[in-house]
Amino acid sequence: MNFLGVDLGATSGRTILGTIGNDSIKLREINRFPNPMIEVNGHLYWDIFALYQQIINGLKIVAEEDIEIKSIGIDAWGVDFVCIGNDGELLRQPYCYRDSQTVGAQEKFFKQVSRNKIYEKTGIQFMDFNTLFQLSTIGNNHSSILPITNKILFIPDALSYMLTGEMVTEYTIASTSQLIDSEKKTFDLELLAALDLTENSFGKLVKPGTVIGNLNETVKKLTGLGDIPVVAVAGHDTASAVVSVPSEDREFAYLSSGTWSLMGIEADKPIINDDSFSLNFTNEGGVDGTIRFLKNICGMWLFEQCRKEWNDNNSYEQLIANAGNEVPFRCFINPDATCFTNPLSITEAIRKYCEATSQYIPQTKSEITRCIFESLALRYKQVLDNLQQFASFPIKKLHVIGGGSKNDLLNRFTASALGIPVIAGPTEATTIGNLMLQAKTAGLYPDIQSMRKSISRSVPLTQFNPENHSEWMKQYPNYLSVFKEII
Which residues are designated catalytic? 237
3-state secondary structure the chain: CEEEEEEECCCEEEEEEEEEECCEEEEEEEEEEECCCEEECCEEECCHHHHHHHHHHHHHHHHHCCCCCCCEEEEECCCCEEEECCCCCECCCCECCCCHHHCCHHHHHCCCCCHHHHHHHHCCCCCCCCHHHHHHHHHHCCCCCHHHCCEEEEHHHHHHHHHHCCCEEEHHHHHHHCCEECCCCEECHHHHHHCCCCHHHECEEECCCEEEEECCHHHHHHHCCCCCEEEECCCEHHHHHHHCCCCCCCCCEEEEECCEEEEEEEECCCCCCHHHHHCCCEEEECCCCCEEEEEEEECCHHHHHHHHHHCCCCCHHHHHHHHHCCCCCCCCCCCCCHHHCCCCCHHHHHHHHHHHCCCCCCCCHHHHHHHHHHHHHHHHHHHHHHHHHHCCCCCCCEEEECHHHHCHHHHHHHHHHHCCCEEECCCCHHHHHHHHHHHHHCCCCCCHHHHHHHHHCCCCCEEECCCCHHHHHHHHHHHHHCCCCCC
